[in-house]
Structure formats: C-alpha cells, structure tokens
Amino acid sequence: MAQPHGQQSEQRKLLAAFRKVVAALAATTLLGGAASGQGPVGAPTPPEVISMPIGTADGVLAATGMGGTFSIGEGVIELPGELVIGTDLKLKGFGSEVTVLELRGAPTALRVAPGVRFELEGLTLRYVGQTPADVVLVDGAELVLTDVKLTGAVGGPDAAGAKRFGVGSGIVAAAGSTLTLVDTELTEHGLTAMELYGDTTVTMLRGLVSHSSVGFYAQDEVSLEVREVQITNNLYGGLRATGAATVLLERSVILSNGRAHREGADPDERSDALRATDHATLKLVGNRILNNERHAVSADHNARLESSGNWFEGNGGVYEAESYLISPVLLAGESYLQSEADTFQDNPGGTIELAGASSAQLMNVVMRGNALWAHLYMAGSAQLDVVNGSLEGNEGAIYVGASANLSMRDSRIVGTTGQDAIIVEDQGQVSLLANLFEGNAFAGVSFAGTSGGVVAFNAFSGNRAGIVVMDDAAPELRENRMQGNGDDVLRL
C-alpha cells in the first residue's frame, strides 16, 4: 500500500538529518572542529569524533558498528544485550565519575573481537545484570583503558562449561591479547578483577584493584606488569600466578588480601595475598606489603620469587584453626627466593618459612621486631644463604630443623628477646662465618640432636651464652671471639 504523501515527506526529512549526522561523524574532531590531518592519498579515512557527544544507547551501538573515535556525554547510558566490538573504536567520556555505561549482557557483557583495537577513556563501565557474567572479554585483541572504572561482574558457573572457574571477572583476556591500563580501577567483581591466559601481555600503571574474590589471575605464558597500583581487600588473594606466567609488581601497595582459616570455616577458603606456583616467576620491586593476615607471599612447585626493596609489615600471625604458624613469606616444593634489600618489620607471623626442597638467598635484608618463637623457620631439605643481613630485636629464633642447611656470613644478629638467636636441631647444618651475635637474651647459637656445621670467625658479645651444644650435636667451632657472655661455650 502506498504511503500518504505527508509520511513520505517526513521520512525524507529524517533520512536527510541522519545523513548529516553520518557526515559529521566522518569529518569532525573531538572538539567539533574540522579534521586536521590528511592520510596518504587513496587511504580510507576512519570516522573521527562527533561534534556533539553521544547520549543514547542507540548512538553507542551505531558507533560500535562504524568504528572510529567518539565522545560519550555525561550521565548513564543503559546498553541491552552483549556488546560486540568488531572494528577499531575509541569511546571517550567526560570522566569516570560522570560518564557511565551500564551493561547487562551475559555470559559476556562486552566482547572485543580478534584483531581489534578498543579504547575507553574517562568513563565507568558497570555491569548491572542479574545473570552471572564477565564484563569484558578480549580475544586476541588490544584493549586500552585510561581513567576508567570497571566494576560489578557477577560470579557464578559458566553455563557453557568453557571456563572451569566460572564467570564473574572484570576482564578476561586470552590468545595473545595486549592490554594497557592507566589510572584505572577494577573493583567489586565476583570472580577476578583480571583473568589472563595464553601469551597475553598486560601493563597497568596507577590504579586500584580491590574488593574482588581474586585480584589478578595469570596462567600459561602471560606477561603482567603492574606499577603504582593499590591491590587491597581481595578476599581470596590479590594475585595467583601459575603455569609459566611472569608477573612484575613494582612500587605498589598490597594491603589486606587473602584470609586465614577460622574455626568452623571451610579450610579451602584460606588464601594467601600473592601466590606463585608451577613455573611462574613473581618479581616484587619497591612495594609496601601490609597487613595480609595469611602468607603475604607464597611459592610452591618450581616457582621463582625475585624480591628487592620491599617493605613487609603486619603480615601473618597465629590462628588457632591453622596447623602451623603463618609467616609473611612461605616457600614450599622446589621454589626459590632471591631477596635484596627487603625489610621485614613488626610482622606477627615472623619473616620467612622454608619447607620441602625450597631455597633462598637473602642479601642486605633487614629483619626487625618480628614475632613468633621462630621468626625464620627452616624444615625439610631447605637451603638458605644470608649475606650482610641485619636481624634486630626479633622475638624468636632462626630455626634450622630436619635436614635444612643455613649459611650466614657478615651479618648482625642482635637483641633476640624470647629464644636463642639461632636454633639448630635434628640433622640441621649451618655455616656461620664472620657474624656478630650481640645482646641476645639467650644463646647466640644452640645445637641439639645430631646437628652440626661450622661456626668460625664470629664475634659473640653480651649474650647469656655464646654457643650451646647438646645431645649428639657436633659443630666445628674455631676462631670465634667471645666477650661479656654469661657462658662462652656451654656443653650440656
């Protein structure tokens, strides 16, 4: 049926208006002026920013189909269904406090297709759906976030069964994706703030990762670099690195992540703040690692920790439901720690525990005022090398048990208050060379069981006893200087 002449005229007017908008999309800059650059002759010119900010869901959907760069106005825009970014696109708001995109699609609210570059700046991306979902999926693509708040993923099982941990992450990235985040906040996600697989590369500078079940999860050959970010209040840990992932945390704050096992709770709910397993490498540089109630850093299997210039305070402690004391750093399996110029101060859980066949090298490390009867505990066949360490005013001992081996040289062990400064038991072995043991409330070093080793060229001053030897222990003692001790060498 033919339309009345009036309706045809009205449609022509609407079509003409729409064409003017499309022309504006292709010709204007963010500020609404004429495009200033010219591409190569014959090269396609991508749409620039519209002169008037987009303020509707239809406008955003149109922009995602066209690609280019667009301004999003102030206020809240509600987007129904899954949003798919299939072409290069940049959306720029007026600040994360005033420009908000609300998403509802599930099980993925926004998906960036392979090969696409997607940028968000100055806005909040918030999931408001009721169905469990990941907020952003980056599949072999590039994602750039600047001054963005990304929040609200709802955790739950993956109905398709593709994700063994379920859904509920702020960002999921895989298949060689590249992510760059600057001044960005990832908060309140049911599963993880960021879930990374494959050979994905991520750089995050300044921001916040908080109040999610887990902060970062990195698997396979992921490369993750995080600088000047606060990682806090993530219930089941701030970081999980596994596979062959490599993670750098630098000049960041790791505060109150993970949880200890409480009476009546599920033991599986206990979790460490930062954990590396398998063949993962975790590098910690100049961070403040504070008030994490279980292990602040733990490593297992063949994981490697490289730590320098970090400050550990208020971590670990004693929890009745746990079967062992909880140190700030735990090494298990065949994991390895290299520590340079780290400081451990006033930690309820002492300093470091080495178990299994783990090993560590500590250089220029300060341990001051830490609690527990054994602030540094060694068991299994663990090996520890300490060079130029400063251990002052700790409550408990360095404990060397089982068949563990401690090497310490050119270090200061001063003012231990509640135990012998070093306790060697079982088949433990030590090599103590050119150290100072001064003002310790009990012995500088005590041996028991069938332990032994070499104690040479050390200075023992003002201790209740310099060296105590018990049971069948047989250390080699030579050329040690003794002054002002209650007993210099006491054999029981």
Q: Which domain holds residue 293?
A: 81-491
Rounded Cα gap, residues 260 and 490, in angstroms: 41
Using a 10 angstrom Cβ sphere, with 0-12 exposed, 13-18 middle and 19 or more buried, the burial of residue 4 is exposed
Q: What is the pLDDT of residues 75-87, one digit of tens each?
A: 999 998 899 999 9
Is 173 inside any structural domain?
yes
Q: What is the pLDDT of residue 49?
A: 54
**Inside any domain, residue 49:** no
Confidence band, pLDDT 50/70/90 cuts, at residue 325: confident
At 270, the pLDDT band (50, 70, 90 cuts) reads confident
* Average pLDDT score over residue span 220-243: 97
pLDDT at 295 over 80: yes
Residue 228 lies in a domain: yes
How far is 440 from 416, CA to CA, in rounded Å?
A: 5
Interatomic CA distance for residues 440 and 393, integer angstroms: 9
More confidently predicted of 342 and 319:
342
Strand partners, 77: 101
Contact 410, 385 (CB under 8 A): no
Q: What is the pLDDT averaged over residues 419-427?
A: 98
Where residue 9 falls among pLDDT bands split at 50, 70, 90? very low
Amino acid at 126: R
What's the rounded mean pLDDT across residues 409-419? 98
pLDDT at 195 over 90: yes
State how beta strands 214-218 and 239-241 pair.
parallel
Phi-psi region of 74 (alpha: psi -120 to 50; beta: other; left: phi over 0): beta
Q: Is residue 12 part of a domain?
A: no
Instruction: Tell me the pLDDT tens digit for each residue of 441-473.
Output: 999 999 999 999 999 999 999 999 999 999 999
Do 427 and 450 contact (CB within 8 A), yes or no? yes
In a domain, 22, yes or no: no
Assess if residue 108 is contained within a domain: yes
Among 371, 403, 274, residue whose Cα is nearest residue 329:
274
Is the pLDDT at 163 greater than 90, yes or no?
A: no
* Whether residue 41 has pLDDT greater than 50: no
Which pLDDT does position 23 carry in this prediction?
29
In the three-class reduction of DSSP (H, G, I as helix; E, B as strand; rest coil), residue 434 is classed as coil
User: How many CA within 13 A on the CB side of residue 142?
Assistant: 10
- pLDDT surpasses 60 at 302: yes
Six-digit token string for 418 = 């509640």
For 193, 232, 256, the CA distances from 214, given in Å and listed in that order, are 7, 10, 12
pLDDT-derived band at 318 (thresholds 50, 70, 90) equals confident
pLDDT greater than 80 at residue 332: yes
304 - beta bridge partners? Answer: 281, 336
What pLDDT band is residue 261 in, cutting at 50, 70 and 90? confident
pLDDT digits (tens, 9 = 90+) for 132-149: 999 999 999 999 999 999
**Averaged pLDDT for residues 461-489:** 97
Mean pLDDT of 414-424: 98
Buried b (16+ CB within 10 A) or exposed e, 5-23: eeeeeeeeeeeeeeeeeee
Per-residue model confidence (pLDDT) at position 464: 97
Asked whether residue 37 carries a pLDDT value surpassing 70, the answer given is no
Nearest to 88 by CA among 54, 125, 55, 47: 47
Burial of 169 (0-12, 13-18, 19+ CB in 10 A): buried
- For residue 20, give the H/E element and its range: helix 5-27
User: Can you give the pTM of this predicted structure?
Assistant: 0.88
CATH number at residue 169: 2.160.20
pLDDT tens digits, 361-401: 999 999 999 999 999 999 999 999 999 999 999 999 999 99
Contact 88, 113 (CB under 8 A): no
| Cα–Cα dist 105/132, whole Å | 9
Given a cut of 50, whether residue 7 has pLDDT beyond it is no
Distance of CA 153 to the CA centre of its chain: 19
Beta-bridge mates of residue 182: 146, 205
Note the pLDDT of residue 11.
40
The whole-chain average pLDDT of the chain stands at 89
Q: How far apart, in whole angstroms, are the C-alpha atoms of residue 415 and residue 410? A: 17
Query: Do residues 304 and 331 lie in contact, with contact meaning Cβ atoms separated by under 8 Å?
Result: no
- Check pLDDT > 70 for residue 32: no
Q: What are phi and psi of 212, to 5 degrees?
A: -115, 170
Would you give the end-to-end CA distance of the chain in angstroms?
112
**Is it the case that residue 34 has pLDDT exceeding 90?**
no
Q: How far is Cα 139 from Cα 85, in angstroms, rounded to an integer?
A: 11
Greatest C-alpha distance within the chain: 114
Q: Tell me, yes or no, whether 21 lies in a domain.
A: no
Domain count, the chain: 1
> φ, ψ for residue 384 (rounded to 5)?
-135, 130
Q: Is residue 42 predicted with pLDDT exceeding 70?
A: no
The answer to the question of residue 28 being in a domain is no
Cβ-in-10-Å burial (0-12, 13-18, 19+) of 492 comes to exposed
